[in-house]
Amino acid sequence: MSTSKDKIANKRATDPIDQLIFEGGLRMKSVWFDRELDLIIVLLNNKKLLKRPLSDFERLANATEQQLHQFDNDGIGIHWPELDEDLSLRGFLKNELAKMDKPIVA
């Protein structure tokens, strides 16, 4: 007997970002924060780095150092239980693609 969970697990991703994550195995390996540079830096398992301004996320920007470093990273998402904040690999990748669409201003 097939369950709905089986159908979801066996369904192929049609979105290119989902394909990278769920079929290609792309994962967030490590995460660093630098308040002085206003950065969240994510190391992927393909040796690429993604970065976002820490100030883009109000709860993280206002968190204490201890709160900021108390997170769970399952490879496809980062969760801060105490702050009720979640960031996804999909969101980081979508942000990177959006930056590619913008013209470079000198």
The mean predicted confidence, pLDDT, of the chain is 88
Q: State the CATH number of the domain containing residue 11.
A: 3.30.2020.40
pLDDT in tens, 37-84: 999 999 999 999 999 999 999 999 999 999 999 999 999 999 999 999
- Per-residue confidence (pLDDT) for residue 14, from 0 to 100: 85
The long-range contacts involving 95-100, CB below 8 angstroms and separated by at least 24 positions, are: 95/50, 95/52, 96/50, 97/17
Residue 99 is predicted with a pLDDT of 83
96/3 Cα distance (integer angstroms): 36
- Mean pLDDT confidence for 20-42: 96
Is residue 36 assigned to a domain?
yes
> Is 52 within the bounds of a domain?
yes
Is residue 106 situated within a structural domain? Answer: no
pTM over 0.85: no
Structural domain including 13 reads: 4-101
Q: Judge whether 74 lies within some domain.
A: yes
Tell me which residue has tokens 């308040």: 35
Please tell me the total count of domains within the chain.
1
User: Which pLDDT score, from 0 to 100, does residue 7 have?
Assistant: 46
